[in-house]
Amino acid sequence: MHHLCTFFFCSLIQNIKVHIALFTVALIYGITFSLVKDIMPFYLQGFGFIVLRVGGAAILFLGTSLTRPRESINWKAHGGLILSCSVFGVAANMLMFFKGLEITTPINGAVLMLATPIFVLILNTFIFKQQLTFLQLLGILTACAGAILLMIGRNFTFSTTTMPGDILIILNAISYAIYLVLVKKLLTHYHTLTVSKFTFLIGFVFILPFGIPELIHSNFNMPTYIIVEILFIIVCTTFVTYLLNAWAINKVGPTLVGAYIYLQPVLAAIIAIILQKDILTLQKVIATLLIFAGVYITSLKYKWYKLKA
């Protein structure tokens, strides 16, 4: 009985830590939506900004990895998987998202990104043959309904003008979903820092040909607050979020991590309300409750699984 209680307590603590990590990621992204508007396109263009993001994060991952024992990579067995994560999780993901936002509208991008958790569920179930539970499906659909409710009333403008950007945002969502599923396999063999270090270093090489021309023509006459915002996005939005997501994927799998994407528009709306750029309505309250309920339901599978272990 004593061992059962100890196991239950440890499992509960572990679950709380995972939720704190994922909530932190969603909060950081919620803050970032407001910051990007200050930076782009007045000082940095999309691809040039990605060079700074990925290059800065790669340096941070490289430096942080030096604080622990060196880990050897079996490139013959896992080189292809690392390359795939670099392409889908860093290079293609970021390039398509930023270029897509340049062509389409921010609200279109926010709505289309809601498809990411659904793509994770599909990839996990039908391609990688992971068991799909009723709770996972119910949780994802509930959170998705809340996110859609949150967006109702905004100015959607899906048209032939926005279509190329809309397609890029959808491809970005698929790309990031593939990364969330693939990186789980790598994390069973290597430490989070090791995986992140190599995916960002390789991803940086892929991004350079696209980003250098735009970076050269950037406006570097920046006020202090813009420099601070850029540093926040490099350190927190890129380095910290990828690190926490990778750690959480290793603990609970990609489905719950994907579900937390639905919290991002909620937190962005809350921040906008605090800054008096938006107002609180009953619709937003109901949407927020649906999203939190959906994320919670998605996480129940993992709690039950651990109690049976």
Annotated domain spans of the chain: 31-308
- 249 closest CA partner among 302, 305, 294: 302
Look up the pTM and report it. 0.78
Question: What pLDDT is recorded for position 307?
Answer: 39
Q: Name the packing angle between helices 192-216 and 46-65 (round to 10°).
A: 150
Binning the chain into helix, strand and coil, the percentages to the nearest 5 are: 80, 0, 20
Q: What is d(CA 147, CA 268) in angstroms, rounded to the nearest whole number?
A: 12
Radius of gyration of the chain (CA): 20
Below-70 pLDDT ranges, the chain? 1-14, 105-111, 114, 126-132, 150-159, 265, 272, 275-280, 299-309
Query: Do 143 and 296 form a contact (C-beta atoms < 8 A)?
Result: no
How open is the CA angle 81-83-87, to the nearest 5 degrees? 115
Q: What is d(CA 21, CA 110) in angstroms, rounded to the nearest whole number?
A: 22
User: Which ranges of 104-158 would DSSP assign to H, the alpha helix?
Assistant: 106-112, 116-122, 134-151
Query: Do 232 and 49 form a contact (C-beta atoms < 8 A)?
Result: no
Question: What pLDDT is recorded for position 74?
Answer: 92
